[in-house]
Amino acid sequence: MSRQLHAFPGGLQIPTCKEISGKDISILHPLPERLIMPLQQHIGIPSLPVVAVGEKVLKGQVIARASGYVSVPMHASTSGRIIDIGDYPVPHPSELKAPCIVIESDGEDKLFDIRPTREYASVDPKKLQAVIRECGIIGLGGAGFPAHVKLNEGVENAVDTLIINGVECEPYITCDDRLIQEKADYVVAGTRMIRHAVQAKHCVIAVEDDMPAAFAALEKRIDDDIELIQVPTRYPAGGEKQLIQVLTGREVPSGGLPIEIGIVMHNVATAAAVYRAVTRGEPVISRYVTVTGMVEKPRNLQVLLGTTVKDCISACHIETDENYRVILGGPMMGMHVTNPDVPVIKTTNCILVQKNKAPTPEMPCIRCAKCVDACPVNLLPQQLYWYAKADDMEATQSHHIFDCIECGCCSYVCPSNIPLVQYYRYAKSQIAAAERRRNGADHAKARFLARNQRLDREERKKQQDKEKQVSKKESLDKQAYIAAAVERTRARRSKQKNRSVPGMDDKDA
């Protein structure tokens, strides 16, 4: 029985531009001379270095450990020597620098001693979860959420459906499409491993209906235990909540998680990484990256993590200058970077090169409501814009700004060229900063109260000790007084007794 598909609100039919890079087989990017490995490559707490400058490392060796539950280890992408641990430019909207480990390649690409997990189907799900975490696997579809956290949710909660997301809705990006075509057996086997890890009752792999080659590659390898579904091509059908709605007709609650309705979702690249981790013990040290746009030879590269964007662009025969702009990700949700020396990290799925053009001036909102019609989350983009512009963060929160997935549909259709998503990101950052300040103030207040309570306890203890000493002294003084009185009484009685003895006068006494 075929699965009934549902529609999600809003969304857009936009040019996909996938034919530019998707038709050719991927190629291995040459081994770089130097790799820059940021310690923050995922949502959560950055990893902590366990190596020192000058130390030699092997490919796949742990060079930074997880520093919390929502954190994963980081591994060397090749063998070589640690030449620096310091701040370098990283992929970030504000173009900031962040702590990185820099590896100078020795050219040998010598592999660390890694060990596979035998007979995964008989392994306890918790153990499988630990293997996946130790291999540094995160969501490779772009969000970057540590995979083991979702797997743990599945172990601790009843999972009805596991969804493997191959819906590559963002224009220009074809890395998942090429991965499926070239590694479909990895994706299918990894899907079964994830299913065992979360103990899901049902399992679905979803791709868009404009990915016929990927669909055919998967169809050859699945059995009755996995449903293979084609969903209509509509942006942003690959969004987590949107795809859940398309496949199940159910909505994830506002501010909630898919596990709350019995669903866990992972990307096809994550499934392939799980297969390599379980069967070979391989950590995440490379990924497929689409290099496309205004390049001479657009295609997908298999890139070692830490390779610079500049190296990837050069491999596709173009040298960027002020006439070009580089976007990490797609044109709708991607991040514009001006420094091509930033490294490819685990969440880098596309490098898009476009011609620079003068920005279109922002004009006043004409209240056309096109943004409302396009929003796939049923928000009120116009109201959010007004509140964000007025710095009314309380109102933006009451209008569910954190449900915004920043898909860019509203900005795309806006006839006034208002960069709506930028306003929403600003509001989110302001709210987050206020939350940090509030948490900091609450923490300081808690410390202040705790200090006062401690000082009060110490003062009460001192007073009690003093009272005990006074009481003890008074007790001792009283005992001494009584003893002295007793002694005087005894002396007096003894004297009287001696006087009463016959023949004894006072002199004798």
* CA 228 – CA 232 distance, rounded (Å): 14
Residue pair 336/371 in contact by the 8 Å Cβ criterion: no
Helix then strand count (H, E) for the chain reads 13, 17
DSSP string over 171-187: TT--HHHHHHHHHHHHH
pTM for the full predicted model: 0.84
Q: Give the closest residue to 52 by CA, choosing from 27, 79, 76, 85.
A: 85
Longest dimension (CA), the chain: 142
**Beta-carbon contacts of residue 190 (< 8 Å; ≥ 6 apart):** 270, 271, 272, 273, 274, 275, 276, 278
For 224, list phi and psi in degrees, rounded to 5: -70, -15
Alpha helices in 220-353 (DSSP H): 240-248, 268-280, 309-315
Q: Strand 263-267's sheet: what is its strand order?
A: 227-231, 202-208, 161-166, 263-267
Strand segments, DSSP code E, in 127-176 are: 161-166
β-pair partners for 124: none
Tens digits of residue pLDDT in 216-259: 999 999 999 999 999 999 999 999 999 999 999 999 998 888 99
Question: How confident is the prediction along the chain (509 residues), in pLDDT tens digits per residue?
Answer: 478 999 999 999 999 999 999 899 999 999 999 999 999 998 889 999 999 999 999 999 999 999 888 899 999 999 999 999 999 999 987 778 999 999 999 999 999 988 888 788 888 888 888 899 999 999 998 778 888 887 887 667 789 999 999 999 999 999 999 999 999 999 999 999 999 999 999 999 999 999 999 999 999 999 999 999 999 999 999 999 999 999 999 999 988 889 999 999 999 999 999 999 999 999 999 999 999 999 999 999 999 999 999 999 999 888 777 788 999 999 999 999 988 999 999 999 999 999 988 888 999 999 999 999 999 999 999 999 999 999 999 999 999 999 999 999 999 999 999 999 999 999 999 998 888 887 777 777 777 778 878 888 888 888 888 877 877 777 777 777 788 787 888 787 777 777 665 555 544 44
**Beta-carbon contacts of residue 149 (< 8 Å; ≥ 6 apart):** 69, 70
Domains assigned to the chain: 19-326 (3.40.50.11540), 370-430 (no CATH)
The pair of structure tokens assigned to 315 is 């491999």
